[in-house]
Structures are given as structure tokens and as C-alpha cells.
């Protein structure tokens, strides 16, 4: 076994000029300008990993993600195409979404399961497709335990999870034995289906983790009580799986290094567990970060890049098997830095490979500026899964649509004018140009990006810079003719074969007494820096933009998303990782302003934000003492402030500014002029429908 880089891999062309986006650019620019053929980019990332009985071609592990294609045999050809693109894109080792080893371990009714030979058979499509491209693949065995969304769930103790309505049944000793056998059986089936190994999911608060933690294991028999008895179930599973599959099969054990819940494991118990699963036959240990019920965010965009990598590094001296670092590793310089510093032996990227299947190939040839970076928004991946929809990706609508959304070359090239270089126009222009059309892209502004130029200024949304950097590169690569600082008129457009209006939106104005008072400004005035907001502000409208503007106004200085130590202090993560569950008292930084966030509809503001990120936005604003009110009637604005009525009582909010974040209206005045000139334009993004517009729809529509 050789977990350290052995050699640097093949020669690669020199890197192109640096164009990585702010504010992460410093490391990459230094690297990119200094790279030559003699010093290949990212030598640690592309060093093979020798496991003794097999070798993985590089250190890029595609982490497990449920996509929705795992649950029905008829979707396996699509699942195979999805994985094949990532294998062809150069990933070393792929881990599938979770398959339960038996029925009680289901994540949801009729979810993917691996307990009978006929359930294993369709997996051969997947393993064959991946092997054809030189990558290795492991099936994840995921028993949901008390997180299963069905009435058959089992757990070490009868304790309901705070995020699930179903109460599990506590297992008998015979029941425990049946679960262990189910794992061994599933691993044997995975081997028969052509997998190179399995990943045993022992973290994130699922079944095995429920045995290891005192929080959920209240047993007083041989499977609970002391740390040794709590970890016995995990160790026994690894031992029995190894016995069943033989020595030449990868067993990854996903170990919860940070539970981030009260009564979770303590550091010495985690080390003990790691040593025990290694001795029982694990080949690789993957890092698990945070239970699903944890109140500390672990993957959303405001989590700093590689925030938790030091906990993997802390385990390194204690084990000999290769260790995998995870969470918010989305660019090659971050991955290389972790490996070069000896903090881990592999890096796990999950969502970044939804965003760009060619991630590894682009890193290997030294073109990180060509990577379509995952911005950790969760909007099209995790949020979809939680809504029982097929996963995809906001920045790459082809993810999980590899067989039905293909950008084929056209046999009839046309001249195409795209008006508006926001997300919709950028996607449309680059896809049309890639297909062979001659595209001209107009924008009235002097830079591309549309509203993303406001989004990127929100503390915690720094990743949005990367999408703009990617599109700048794509525009160049696809040779789109750019016309910036050019407000297009109908006369400019009539000569084109096709005209696409991606002109976006205009912010909605509000109508109440004093709406034209000097205190009343739009979110655009604030985020563009045209208005300097006073010490007290009220925000009208509590949608995604209202929440973002509240974060902008309550934060000051460098965003803690760029500073892991401050971020950990804010969220109460023990920087030494020694405390039980790794939790300490949160220390939020004081708000920069006093802010009220208001909406007319009754109920909790933010209820309609993303399923997996909304709670983080609400918690952040609560920590910043933002007063969030629903059921508000706006009575008027004058020199004294904003008068409102809530629950029949009138209040005066003595604010310096009232910032309107009340939604948007489509901007498409060009449509009428074009129609009058005999030209029917195509409408996309906000110009088409402004209601419930987001970048996911804009990019998807632009691409299609």
C-alpha cells in the first residue's frame, strides 16, 4: 500500500494565462504562471494510488451522491451514461449513490436496494461503462437507520430523529445479526456486479453512526454502553464484509470524524474506531462530516472551501490506510494543497463533478480556468433529491441528462443575436456557438453576468465569481462575438437570422404612501454601491434577495466564508476537534447594522428558501439579530422612518433606509420594437417569466 504520491504522471502542456476568479485567485495565479512542461500541474492530485492488489489512477474520488437514477432498474442505462462521462473525464475512483443492504434500511420506499441477484444485475451496465474509461467504481452500502423515510425503520434504540416523522423500532440481538449479514450479502452482490469495491456508510447520522454515538445508542447489552460496545457493530460489519469478498476488493469505510451534534463521539473514540475498522479490513477511510440533523452547515456555499480538512489531517498519524478528505473541495489548487501538505491521500469531490464531468481532465492539462465550478448552491442537486425530483446541476443542466440533453453540431449554421449576458444569455450564447452558430452577445453593462454581479457581492456567495470566470472562458473558447457596453436596439438586431432576448428583469416598485421618499431605495442601489445604507434599515420583501441583502447589510469586512477559523467560531465548531460532537459555544460576530426583514404574507420569513440551505440563511440572520416579521402591512414612509401594522398594532421602525426587495418584472421592451420590424424574438430567463426566476431556470432555459 502506498498512500503517498509516487510520481508526477505524464507530461502536460504549459498552462494558459491565469484567469481564476476572485477572491480565491492568489494561490492559483501563482501556480499557473510558474508551471512549465517540466513541472506538471497538480503532481500530487495525479499521482496513482497503489492499494497493493489494485491501483487507482489518481487521487480524485467522486463522492457518493443520490441522483434519483438509482431507484429503478429501467434508469440504469442513464445512470451508466452519467457515470461514464465522469470516468471519461478522468476521475480515479467513483462511489455510487447509496444502496440499502435490505428493506428496513431503505432511504425511502422502493429506494435502491442490493439484496437479491436480480437487483444486482442492472448494475453491470454501470460497472462496464466506468471500466471502459479506466476508472474504478465502488457501490455505496447505505442503511438509513432512523433516517429512513418509511414506517419500517430500525435503529439501535427507539429514538425518533428530529428531521424524520417516523420512529424506528429498536433492534433485537438477532435483528442486529440479520443487518450484519445483509451488509456481507450486499457486498458479495456488488462484487458479482463488477464493482471494484464498496463504501460502507458509517457517518452522517445514518444507521452505523447511530450505533457508534451515545446520542442514539442507549443499549445496555453487548452492542451499547462503552465506546468499544458502541463501535462493535461497525467493526463487525467491516470484518464480515471482508470475509465475504476476499482480500482483493476495496472496502472504503466512511467514518464520522465530526458528528457536530450533542452527545456525538469524542476524538479518542473516533481514533479508536478508525484503528478498529482498519484492523477489521478497511482499505480506505473516507471522512464523514456532520449528521444530517446537525445545526452546523457542512456543504452550503457559505462554508469555507476545505473547511474541515484539518480533522482528516488529525487522524492521519493514527492509521496506515489512505485517508480521504471531503467537503467543499471544488478546485484543483485546493485539492492539490491538501494532498501536498500531507493532510490526506485522496480528495472526495461530489457536486463539483456534477457541475463539470471533465473536472479531472481539465486539471490534468493545467486549465483550471476551463472548469465549470460547483458553487455549492444545492439548488438543482440536493434540493431536487429532497423534493423527490431527479438531481441535476444549476451550472450544468446536462448533469443526469447525459442521454437526453446533447449539444450536437448543427448542419444549418445561423447568425444569432443574444441580448443580455446574464446567466440565461451566457448559457444560450455559448451553447449555440458550440453547436456551430455564429453568435453575437450584447450587454448594456461593461461586464458579463447580469444579476450574478450582485449575487457575488453577498458575503458567503463568493463562489458566484467562479461561474462568471467560467463563462468568460467559454465565450472566448466558443468565439462568441462580444458587444459589451452596448444597449441593443431593434435596429441592431433585425439583420440576424434569430434574436434571443435574455434581457432579464427590472426590480418591482412598491406602492404605499411615501414610496417615493428619499429613504426608499432598491436592492440594486444598495448592492451596486450607489447608496450607502445608514445604521438602521428595513427590507421590504423576504425572498431570496431580501435574505441576501440582510446578510450584506449585517456583515462588515472580509467574509468569514474566506476565513475558516472565524467561520468555525461563528458556528461553534471546536477548532481542536476534541470536544464531544466537536461542538463549542457559537461566537457570532456583532451585526454591522440594525435590520428588519419584512414580508406581507403571514408566517415565518424564509419558509420558501431552498430546503437544504434555507435554515442556514435563517440561522445566520438570527445570529445577526435581524428582526424577521411576517404578516406586515406597510402604512408609509416619512422622515421618521417606516410605519407598519402587525397583528393589528401599529409600529414605527426608526430606519434610515427602506430597501425594496419585492420581486421583479420581466424586461422586454425590445420585443414590441422587434415585432413591429417583423422579427419574432425568443424570450428566455427573466425576460420570459420573472416570477420565481432563479439562475437554475435561466441557465437551463438558455442551454435548451
Q: Please list the active-site residues.
A: 206
List binders of ligand NAP among 474-513 (CB under 6 A): 508, 510
| Candidate residues 47, 93, 381, 421; the one interacting with ligand FAD per rule CB under 6 A | 421
Q: Which is nearer to ligand SF4, 381 or 537 (CB)?
A: 381
> Is the peptide bond preceding residue 462 cis, with omega within 30 degrees of 0?
no
Residues 23-55: b if buried by 16+ CB within 10 A, e if exposed = ebbeebeebbeebeeeebbbebbbbbbebeeee
Q: Which is nearer to ligand NAP, 183 or 452 (CB)?
A: 452
Q: Which is nearer to ligand NAP, 438 or 508 (CB)?
A: 508
List binders of ligand NAP among 540-579 (CB under 6 A): 540-546, 548
Closest by CA to 667, choosing from 452, 424, 472, is 424
| Candidate residues 300, 441, 520, 693; the one interacting with ligand NAP per rule CB under 6 A | 693
Determine, following the binding rule CB under 6 A, whether residue 610 of this chain makes contact with ligand NAP.
yes
Determine, following the binding rule CB under 6 A, whether residue 661 of this chain makes contact with ligand NAP.
yes
Contact 553, 526 (CB under 8 A): yes
Query: What one-character DSSP code corresponds to residue 216?
Result: T
Determine, following the binding rule CB under 6 A, whether residue 378 of this chain makes contact with ligand SF4.
yes
Quick one: what does residue 89 bind among ligand NAP, ligand SF4, ligand FAD, none, with the CB cut-off 5 to 8 Å set by partner type?
Answer: none
Q: Which is nearer to ligand SF4, 351 or 657 (CB)?
A: 351
Determine, following the binding rule CB under 6 A, whether residue 377 of this chain makes contact with ligand FAD.
yes
Q: Which is nearer to ligand FAD, 447 or 578 (CB)?
A: 447
Total Cβ atoms within 10 A of residue 301 = 21
- Using a 10 angstrom Cβ sphere, with 0-12 exposed, 13-18 middle and 19 or more buried, the burial of residue 17 is exposed
| Candidate residues 394, 431, 480, 499; the one interacting with ligand SF4 per rule CB under 6 A | 394
d(CA 595, CA 629): 11
Q: Which stretch binds ligand SF4 (CB under 6 A): 304-312, 388-396, 454-462, 662-670?
A: 388-396
C-alpha cell at position 627 = 428582526
d(CA 297, CA 290): 8
List binders of ligand FAD among 499-538 (CB under 6 A): 502-505, 527
Determine, following the binding rule CB under 6 A, whether residue 27 of this chain makes contact with ligand FAD.
no
d(CA 610, CA 332): 28
| Candidate residues 443, 551, 694, 700; the one interacting with ligand NAP per rule CB under 6 A | 694
Give the distance from CA 697 to its chain's centroid.
17
Name, in order, each residue with C-beta under 8 angstroms of 337's C-beta and a sequence gap of 6 or more: 27, 306
Q: Which is nearer to ligand FAD, 287 or 467 (CB)?
A: 467
Contact 115, 103 (CB under 8 A): yes
Q: Which stretch binds ligand FAD (CB under 6 A): 21-29, 342-350, 498-506, 598-606?
A: 498-506
DSSP E strands, 445-533? 481-483, 498-501, 505-507, 520-522
Determine, following the binding rule CB under 6 A, whether residue 172 of this chain makes contact with ligand NAP.
no
Contact 132, 261 (CB under 8 A): no
Determine, following the binding rule CB under 6 A, whether residue 201 of this chain makes contact with ligand SF4.
no
Q: Which stretch binds ligand NAP (CB under 6 A): 63-71, 361-369, 424-432, 536-544?
A: 536-544
For the chain, the straight-line distance linking the first and the last C-alpha, in angstroms and rounded, comes to: 47
Name, in order, each residue with C-beta under 8 angstroms of 374's C-beta and a sequence gap of 6 or more: 330, 351, 352, 354, 355, 356, 393, 395, 463
What's the closest the beta carbon of residue 353 comes to ligand SF4, in angstroms?
8
d(CA 70, CA 50): 30
What's the closest the beta carbon of residue 66 comes to ligand SF4, in angstroms?
12
| Candidate residues 79, 346, 374, 432; the one interacting with ligand SF4 per rule CB under 6 A | 374
What's the closest the beta carbon of residue 464 comes to ligand SF4, in angstroms?
10
Quick one: what does residue 265 bind among ligand FAD, ligand SF4, ligand NAP, none, with the CB cut-off 5 to 8 Å set by partner type?
Answer: none
Determine, following the binding rule CB under 6 A, whether residue 442 of this chain makes contact with ligand FAD.
yes
Cα angle 26-31-33, degrees, rounded to a multiple of 5: 100
Residues 590-612: b if buried by 16+ CB within 10 A, e if exposed = ebebbbbbbbeeeeebbeebbeb
What's the closest the beta carbon of residue 679 comes to ligand FAD, in angstroms?
14
Determine, following the binding rule CB under 6 A, whether residue 670 of this chain makes contact with ligand FAD.
yes
| Candidate residues 348, 379, 522, 559; the one interacting with ligand SF4 per rule CB under 6 A | 379
Determine, following the binding rule CB under 6 A, whether residue 646 of this chain makes contact with ligand NAP.
no
Total Cβ atoms within 10 A of residue 135 = 26
What's the closest the beta carbon of residue 668 comes to ligand NAP, in angstroms?
17
What's the closest the beta carbon of residue 605 comes to ligand FAD, in angstroms?
16
Quick one: what does residue 381 bind among ligand SF4, ligand FAD, ligand NAP, none, with the CB cut-off 5 to 8 Å set by partner type?
Answer: ligand SF4
d(CA 251, CA 361): 26
d(CA 685, CA 86): 29
d(CA 60, CA 357): 12
How many amino acids of this chain bind ligand SF4 (CB under 6 A)? 14
Query: What one-character DSSP code corresponds to residue 98?
Result: E
Note the residues at the interface with ligand SF4 (CB under 6 A).
351, 354-355, 374-381, 393-395
Note the residues at the interface with ligand FAD (CB under 6 A).
377, 379, 419-425, 442-445, 450-452, 454-455, 458, 487-488, 502-505, 527, 544-545, 548, 667, 670, 685-686, 693-696, 698
Amino acid at each position: 500500500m502506498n498512500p503517498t504520491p509516487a510520481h508526477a504522471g505524464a507530461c502536460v502542456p504549459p498552462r494558459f494565462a491565469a484567469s481564476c476568479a476572485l477572491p480565491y485567485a492568489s494561490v492559483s495565479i501563482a501556480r499557473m504562471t510558474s508551471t512549465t512542461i517540466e513541472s506538471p500541474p497538480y503532481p500530487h492530485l495525479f499521482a496513482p494510488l497503489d492499494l497493493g492488489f489494485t491501483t487507482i489512477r489518481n487521487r480524485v474520488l467522486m463522492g457518493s451522491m443520490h441522483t434519483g437514477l438509482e431507484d429503478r432498474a429501467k434508469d440504469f442505462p442513464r445512470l451508466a451514461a452519467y457515470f461514464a462521462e465522469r470516468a471519461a473525464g478522468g476521475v480515479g475512483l467513483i462511489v455510487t449513490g447509496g444502496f440499502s443492504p435490505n428493506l428496513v434500511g431503505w432511504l425511502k420506499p422502493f429506494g435502491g436496494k442490493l439484496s437479491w441477484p436480480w437487483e444486482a444485475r442492472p448494475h453491470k451496465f454501470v460497472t462496464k461503462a466506468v471500466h471502459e474509461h479506466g476508472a474504478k467504481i465502488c457501490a455505496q452500502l447505505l442503511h438509513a437507520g432512523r433516517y429512513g423515510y418509511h414506517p419500517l425503520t430500525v435503529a439501535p434504540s427507539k429514538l425518533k430523529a428530529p428531521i424524520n416523522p417516523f420512529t424506528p423500532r429498536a433492534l433485537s440481538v438477532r435483528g442486529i445479526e440479520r443487518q450484519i449479514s445483509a451488509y456481507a450479502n450486499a457486498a458479495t452482490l456488488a462484487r458479482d456486479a463488477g464493482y471494484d469495491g464498496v463504501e460502507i456508510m458509517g457517518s452522517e447520522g445514518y444507521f452505523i453512526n447511530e450505533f457508534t454515538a451515545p446520542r442514539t445508542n442507549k443499549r445496555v447489552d453487548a452492542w451499547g454502553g462503552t465506546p468499544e460496545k458502541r463501535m462493535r457493530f461497525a467493526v463487525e460489519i467491516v470484518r464480515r464484509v471482508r470475509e465475504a469478498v476476499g482480500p482483493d476488493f476495496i472496502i472504503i469505510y466512511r467514518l464520522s470524524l465530526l458528528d457536530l451534534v450533542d452527545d456525538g463521539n469524542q476524538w479518542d473514540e473516533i481514533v479508536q474506531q478508525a484503528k478498529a475498522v482498519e484492523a477489521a479490513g478497511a482499505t480506505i477511510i473516507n471522512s464523514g462530516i456532520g449528521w444530517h440533523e446537525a445545526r452546523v452547515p457542512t456543504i452550503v456555499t457559505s462554508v469555507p472551501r476545505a473547511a474541515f480538512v484539518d480533522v482528516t489531517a488529525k487522524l492521519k498519524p493514527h492509521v496506515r490506510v489512505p485517508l480521504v478528505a471531503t467537503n467543499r473541495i471544488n478546485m484543483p489548487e485546493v485539492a492539490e494543497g491538501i494532498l501536498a501538505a500531507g493532510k490526506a491521500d485522496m480528495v472526495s469531490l461530489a457536486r463539483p463533478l456534477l457541475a463539470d464531468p471533465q473536472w479531472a481532465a481539465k486539471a490534468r492539462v493545467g486549465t483550471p480556468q476551463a472548469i465549470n465550478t460547483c458553487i455549492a448552491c444545492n439548488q438543482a442537486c440536493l434540493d431536487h433529491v429532497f423534493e423527490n425530483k431527479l438531481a441535476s446541476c444549476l451550472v450544468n443542466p446536462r448533469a443526469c441528462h447525459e442521454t437526453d440533453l446533447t449539444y450536437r453540431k448543427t448542419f444549418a449554421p445561423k447568425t444569432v443575436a443574444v441580448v443580455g449576458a446574464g446567466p440565461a444569455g451566457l448559457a444560450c450564447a455559448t451553447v449555440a456557438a458550440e453547436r456551430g452558430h455564429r453568435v453575437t452577445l450584447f450587454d448594456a453593462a461593461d461586464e458579463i453576468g447580469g444579476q450574478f454581479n450582485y449575487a457575488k457581492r453577498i458575503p458567503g456567495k463568493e463562489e458566484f465569481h467562479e461561474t462568471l470566470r467560467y463563462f468568460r472562458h467559454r465565450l472566448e473558447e466558443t468565439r462568441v462575438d462580444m458587444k459589451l457596453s452596448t444597449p441593443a436596439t431593434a435596429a441592431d438586431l433585425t439583420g440576424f437570422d434569430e434574436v434571443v432576448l435574455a434581457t432579464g428583469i427590472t426590480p418591482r416598485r412598491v406602492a404605499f404612501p411615501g414610496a417615493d421618499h428619499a429613504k426608499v431605495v432598491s436592492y440594486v442601489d444598495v448592492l451596486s454601491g450607489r447608496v450607502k445604507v445608514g445604521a438602521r434599515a428595513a427590507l421590504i420583501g423576504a425572498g431570496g434577495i431580501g435574505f441576501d441583502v440582510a446578510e450584506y447589510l449585517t456583515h462588515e469586512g472580509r467574509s468569514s466564508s474566506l476565513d475558516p477559523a472565524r467561520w468555525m467560531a461563528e458556528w461553534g465548531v471546536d477548532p481542536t476537534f476534541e470536544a464531544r460532537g466537536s461542538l463549542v459555544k457559537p461566537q457570532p460576530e456583532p451585526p454591522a447594522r440594525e435590520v428588519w426583514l419584512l414580508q406581507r404574507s403571514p408566517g415565518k420569513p424564509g419558509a420558501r428558501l431552498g430546503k437544504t440551505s434555507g435554515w442556514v440563511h435563517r440561522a445566520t440572520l438570527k445570529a445577526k439579530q435581524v428582526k424577521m416579521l411576517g404578516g406586515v402591512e406597510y402604512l408609509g414612509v416619512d422622515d421618521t422612518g417606516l410605519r407598519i401594522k402587525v397583528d393589528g398594532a401599529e409600529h414605527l421602525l426608526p430606519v434610515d433606509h427602506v430597501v425594496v426587495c419585492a420581486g421583479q418584472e420581466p424586461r422586454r421592451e425590445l420585443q414590441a420594437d422587434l415585432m413591429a420590424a417583423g422579427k419574432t424574438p425568443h424570450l428566455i430567463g427573466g425576460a420570459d417569466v420573472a416570477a420565481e426566476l432563479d439562475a437554475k431556470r435561466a441557465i437551463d432555459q438558455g442551454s435548451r
